Amino acid sequence: MMREFGLNDVYFLLLAARWTIALTLASTLIGGLIALVVAILRTMPFRLANWLAIGYINLVQGTPVLGQLFIFFFGFSAFGLDVGAWTAAVTAFSIYASAFLAEIWRGSLQSVPKPQWETSAALGLRYFEQLRYVVIPQAVRISLPPTVGFLVQLVKNTSLAYVIGFVELTRAGNMLNNATFAPLIVFLTVAAMYFVMCFSLSLTSRKLERSLHVAH
């Protein structure tokens, strides 16, 4: 039975948007930790470490995130492992995010002027001390705009999680459309919520850039 789209439906979409935000935050946190390791391996003066990092990045970036979702949701059942939609989505998007963030951060680390590396080495700092005290603080300022740009894409890409039954904002919008048969207002509302989330990220990025004095 069809019904009209109302305020209760907007509230339902807001509740679903919490899961979009939660999925984005969890994937960013876990993926960021992996990305930091991969980015450092990518820049280390050891060829084997470089090859491992490059292989990981190419493998993840060369496969669609939708396929990764299917692998983690359906693939592990072949080994007798029951993976829920939340776990599969977080795992897939964390790995997806790690590969792209690793490349962004690798470029930022390598964009720090070479004299900074040489000076810190001359002061007797070891490689990881150079990273911690000299290189990473400068790379953070450089990496901020592209990192936030990727996070905006990640927010929107989490909509793909609906294909494995995870009820995030897009899935909730599709459910409401089936109940109200009012696709225009339903998906305009969904789009507006995505816009608010993404625009808020952009505004936060600009404030951080100003506070960190990021050069344009």
Task: Give tens-digit pLDDT for 130-146.
Answer: 888 888 888 888 898 89
Tens digit of each residue's pLDDT (9 = 90 or more) over 82-115: 889 999 999 999 999 999 999 999 999 888 888 8
Please tell me the total number of residues recorded for the chain in this structure: 216
- CATH class of domain segment(s) 7-212: mainly alpha
Q: At residue 33, does pLDDT exceed 60?
A: yes
Q: What is the pLDDT of residue 112?
A: 85
Q: What is the pLDDT of residue 215?
A: 45
Q: Report residue 148 as tokens.
A: 């936030």
Comparing CA positions, the residue from 216, 196, 197 lying closest to residue 206 is: 216
Q: At residue 22, does pLDDT exceed 90?
A: yes
Q: At residue 216, does pLDDT exceed 50?
A: no
Q: What percent of the chain has pLDDT over 90?
A: 64
Other beta carbons within 10 angstroms of residue 177's beta carbon come to 17
Other beta carbons within 10 angstroms of residue 147's beta carbon come to 20
Could you tell me the residue ranges of all domains in the chain? 7-212
The CA distance from 176 to 9, in Å, is 7
* 109 and 142 Cβ atoms separated by less than 8 Å: no
pLDDT band at 121 (very low <50, low <70, confident <90, very high): confident
Question: CB under 8 Å to 150, separation ≥6 — which residues?
Answer: 97, 100, 101, 104
